[in-house]
């Protein structure tokens, strides 16, 4: 016999699925719950794919923009427009998921991304530079940046959430490694095949490649993805909801009303986490743009060489943070302590990026590589801890809102980081990073006392 749970919200009765519950029951099982492995792997893969789509154009962006009559800042805007437009896209798909199944929204937006990638590839044929911005903007609107974090927040219990979010942060970093590596491989492939025309060349092939990848993902999502708990407006706190539920719970109505609100302490903790997410994403993207520009324009490296350099650094960072996620499961650590320790470590890591008077080119490259690697590792830590804290300090009814705003903060950081990375040089890069990390350290210290897990969150 099917199990039916009656939830009284606004005098409305709704049957709920016994597998996916919009308000999971408290207890050890709820705290340890995990989604189906195929769904979780698909979500983590998509997290990597979102960053691949942003950074795969970085090695060729300057040449593509210059070929169509644009400058270096236009190339930076072209890269940053995807995460900036993703802010609007995240707000829009957040509303769509209240009335449509998540799988439907996800697949449709992936198809929209296919169109954006195709337009990007056809900009060379059109000989119109603004097509690049339109294509990247459409890709940002359909990027679904907020869905992976939201899915994890809804389907993973509090005891496993930090671990899974470390994997999520690592996959974002892997995306920053895979993107430049693919760009280098695709460029070598184009030179090997000697194909070079207005439709297919080293500048346009990233667009054709990503269109095919997004199309394949849409098919995988239709087959493998399981729906998370239902997203609807009744999950959010409503006026009078506590009065409607009197008598349906063993606790008093006043207690329910209190737990359905976010206190100013919880709001302050969430804002601090959003700032960490914004800065971490900005530095992550800015590092990649800065490294490619410095290697190509200062040291004279080729597109493939600079792309592989960035890819190796990102790969090492992703591997390190993925191992930390496993270690965190074996050796539990307080999220707030880890966040503050990460802030302090980030400030120290910036020292290696200052412009020292090193005459040997090999010495300059080694210092830059080590400094960038340490900074990226810490940024990944900050994003994982900040996202975990933000989803734990608020009641369950606000999980969707917090996950969405966290994705918006990361999108804003990605977009701003691309513009800042294109504008900075070897003298200004390290001081700007140090100021950003110093601000996160002060924000983390000021808000640490409010970063306490909401006991009803699960």
Over the stretch 140-186, which tens digit does the pLDDT of each residue have? 888 888 888 888 888 887 777 777 887 887 788 788 788 888 888 88
pLDDT digits (tens, 9 = 90+) for 30-45: 667 788 888 889 999 9
Q: How confident is the model at residue 53 (pLDDT cuts 50, 70, 90)?
A: confident
pLDDT of residue 423: 82
Our count of domains for the chain comes to 1
3-state SS string for 85-131:
HHHHHHHHHHHHCCCCCHHHHHHHHHHHHHHHHHHHHHHHHHCCCHH
Considering only the C-alpha atoms of the chain, give the largest distance between any 2 of them, rounded to a whole number of Å: 77
pLDDT of residue 328: 66
Candidates 20, 40, 39; CA nearest to 226 is 39
Least confident range from 21-25, 198-202, 330-334, 396-400: namely 21-25
134 pLDDT higher than 60: yes
Q: Is residue 25 part of a domain?
A: no
pLDDT of residue 21: 37
Cα–Cα distance between 166 and 408 in angstroms, integer? 19
The CATH number given to whatever domain includes residue 42 is: 1.20.1250.20
The highest-confidence range among 31-35, 134-138, 231-235, by mean pLDDT, is: 134-138
**What Rg do the C-alpha atoms of the chain give, in angstroms?**
23
Q: How confident is the model at residue 333 (pLDDT cuts 50, 70, 90)?
A: low
CA angle 137, 417, 123 (to 5 degrees): 30
Q: Is residue 243 part of a domain?
A: no
**Alpha carbon 388 to chain centroid, angstroms:** 13
410 pLDDT higher than 80: yes
DSSP H or E run through 2: none
Q: What percent of the chain has pLDDT over 70?
A: 83
Q: Is residue 458 part of a domain?
A: no
Q: How confident is the model at residue 240 (pLDDT cuts 50, 70, 90)?
A: very low
Break the chain down into helix, strand, coil percent, rounded to 5: 75, 0, 25
pLDDT of residue 260: 60
Count of CB atoms situated within 10 Å of the CB of 73: 12
317 pLDDT higher than 70: yes
Q: How confident is the model at residue 5 (pLDDT cuts 50, 70, 90)?
A: very low
Q: Is residue 257 part of a domain?
A: no
The highest-confidence range among 181-190, 257-266, 274-283, by mean pLDDT, is: 274-283
Q: What is the mean pLDDT of residues 245-266?
A: 54
206 pLDDT higher than 80: yes
CA angle 80, 439, 318 (to 5 degrees): 55
Q: What is the mean pLDDT of residues 326-336?
A: 69
Q: Is residue 30 part of a domain?
A: no
Q: Is residue 254 part of a domain?
A: no
pLDDT of residue 454: 54
pTM score: 0.66
Least confident range from 24-28, 269-273, 347-351: namely 24-28
pLDDT of residue 331: 63
Residue 205: domain span: 36-233+263-450
pLDDT of residue 24: 42
Q: Is residue 270 part of a domain?
A: yes
Cα–Cα distance between 202 and 416 in angstroms, integer? 26
310 pLDDT higher than 80: yes
Q: How confident is the model at residue 219 (pLDDT cuts 50, 70, 90)?
A: very high
**C-alpha count within 13 angstroms, C-beta hemisphere, residue 43:** 29
pLDDT of residue 215: 93
Question: Collapsing DSSP states into helix, strand and coil, what is residue 249?
Answer: coil
pLDDT of residue 4: 40
Q: Is residue 15 part of a domain?
A: no
Q: Who's near 425: CB < 8 A, 6+ residues apart?
A: 294
Cα–Cα distance between 66 and 170 in angstroms, integer? 33
Chain mean pLDDT for the chain: 77
Q: How confident is the model at residue 112 (pLDDT cuts 50, 70, 90)?
A: very high
pLDDT of residue 91: 83
pLDDT of residue 114: 93
């Amino acid at each position: 016999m099917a199990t039916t749970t009656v939830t009284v919200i606004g005098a409305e009765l709704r049957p709920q699925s016994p597998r996916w519950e919009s308000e999971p029951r408290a207890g050890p099982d709820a705290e340890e719950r995990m989604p189906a492995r195929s769904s979780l792997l698909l979500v983590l893969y998509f997290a990597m794919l979102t960053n691949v789509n942003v950074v795969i154009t970085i090695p060729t962006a300057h040449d593509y923009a210059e070929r169509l009559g644009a400058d270096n800042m236009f190339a930076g805007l072209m890269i940053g427009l995807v995460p900036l437009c993703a802010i609007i896209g995240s707000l829009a798909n957040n509303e769509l998921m209240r009335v449509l199944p998540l799988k439907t929204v996800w697949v449709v937006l992936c198809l929209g991304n296919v169109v954006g990638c195709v337009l990007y590839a056809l900009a060379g044929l059109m000989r119109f530079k603004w097509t690049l911005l339109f294509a990247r903007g459409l890709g940002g609107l359909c990027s679904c940046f907020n869905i992976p974090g939201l899915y994890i927040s809804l389907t993973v219990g509090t005891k496993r959430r930090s671990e899974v979010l470390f994997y999520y942060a690592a996959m974002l970093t892997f995306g920053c490694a895979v993107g430049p590596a693919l760009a280098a491989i695709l460029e070598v492939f184009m030179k090997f095949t000697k194909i070079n025309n207005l439709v297919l060349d080293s500048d346009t092939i990233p667009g054709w490649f990503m269109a095919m990848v997004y199309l394949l993902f849409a098919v995988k999502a239709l087959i493998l993805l399981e729906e998370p708990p239902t997203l609807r407006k009744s999950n959010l706190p409503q006026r009078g909801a506590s009065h409607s539920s009197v008598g349906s719970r063993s606790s008093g109505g006043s207690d329910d009303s209190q737990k359905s609100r976010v206190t100013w302490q919880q709001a302050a903790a969430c804002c601090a986490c959003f700032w960490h997410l914004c800065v971490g994403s900005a530095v992550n993207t800015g590092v990649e743009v800065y490294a490619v520009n410095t290697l190509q324009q200062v040291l004279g490296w080729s597109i493939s060489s600079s792309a592989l350099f960035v890819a190796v650094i990102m790969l090492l960072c992703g591997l390190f943070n993925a191992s930390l996620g496993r270690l965190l499961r074996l050796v539990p650590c307080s999220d707030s302590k880890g966040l503050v320790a990460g802030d302090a470590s980030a400030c120290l890591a910036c020292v290696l990026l200052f412009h020292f008077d090193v005459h040997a080119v090999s010495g300059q490259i080694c210092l830059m590589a080590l400094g960038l690697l340490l900074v990226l590792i810490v940024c990944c830590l900050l994003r994982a801890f900040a996202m975990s804290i933000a989803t734990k300090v608020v009641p369950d009814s606000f999980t969707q809102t917090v996950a969405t705003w966290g994705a918006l903060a990361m999108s804003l950081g990605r977009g701003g980081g691309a513009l800042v990375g294109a504008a900075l040089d070897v003298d200004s890069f390290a001081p700007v990073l140090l100021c950003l990390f110093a601000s996160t350290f002060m924000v983390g210290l000021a808000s640490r006392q409010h970063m306490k897990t909401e006991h009803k969150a699960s």
